[in-house]
Amino acid sequence: MISLPHQGHINPFIYLALKLASKGISVTFVHLESVHHKLLSKLGPQADPFSLARHSGLDIRYATISDGLPLEFDRDLHFEEHWGVILRDFPALVDEFVGEMMRSEPDFDYFLMTDTFYPWPPAIASKYNLVNVSFWTQTALTFALPYHWHLLEQNGHFPCKDDMEEEIDYIPGVEPINAKDVMSYLKESGQASIVTKAMAAALDAVKSADLILHNTMLELEPETLSALNEYQPNYAVGPLNFSKSLHSYTVSNSLRSEADCTDWLQYKPPNSVLYVSFGSFVHTTKQVIEELAHGLLLSGVDFVWVIRTGMLSCDDTDVLPEGFGDMIEGKGLVVPWCNQMSVLSNTAVGGFLSHCGWNSTLESMWCGVPMICYPIAYDQTANRKLVIEKWKFGVNLCDGESLDRVEIAEKIKGFLSGAYSENLRQEASKLKEAMEKVLEIDGSLDRTFDQFMEDLKAKMDAKTKF
pLDDT digits (tens, 9 = 90+) for 41-81: 776 666 788 988 998 899 999 999 999 999 999 998 888 89
Model confidence over 245-279: pLDDT tens digits? 776 676 766 777 889 999 999 999 999 999 999 98
For residue 315, the model assigns a pLDDT of 65
pLDDT at 384 over 60: yes
Residue 233 predicted with pLDDT over 70: yes
Listed range (36-40, 216-220, 393-397) with the worst mean pLDDT: 36-40
DSSP readout, 238-305?
A: --GGG-GGGTT------SS--B--HHHHTTSPTT-EEEEE--SS--B-HHHHHHHHHHHHHHT-EEEE
- Rounded to the nearest integer, the mean pLDDT of the chain is 93
pLDDT at 19 over 90: yes
pTM: 0.94
Classify the C-alpha dihedral 187-193-197-202 as positive or negative.
negative
Beta bridge partner(s), residue 394: 371
pLDDT digits (tens, 9 = 90+) for 310-337: 788 666 667 899 999 999 999 999 999 9
> What average pLDDT score do residues 423-446 get?
94
> Residue 382's closest CA among 187, 230, 133, 156?
187
Q: Is 329 exposed, middle or buried (0-12, 13-18, 19+ CB in 10 A)?
A: exposed
Q: Which domains does the chain have, with CATH numbers?
A: 7-243+440-465 (3.40.50.2000), 262-436 (3.40.50.2000)
Q: Which helix (H) or strand (E) holds 61?
A: strand 60-65
Q: pLDDT tens digits for 103-135?
A: 999 999 999 999 999 999 999 999 999 999 999
CA distance 216 to 1: 19
The 10s digit of each residue's pLDDT in 331-375 is 999 999 999 999 999 999 999 999 999 999 999 999 999 999 999
Task: Give the Cα separation of 466 and 460 in Å (integer).
Answer: 10
Q: Dihedral (C-alpha) 409, 363, 39, 378: value to the nearest 10 degrees?
A: -70
Of all helices (H) and strands (E), which one includes residue 159?
none
Q: What is the pLDDT of residue 256?
A: 77
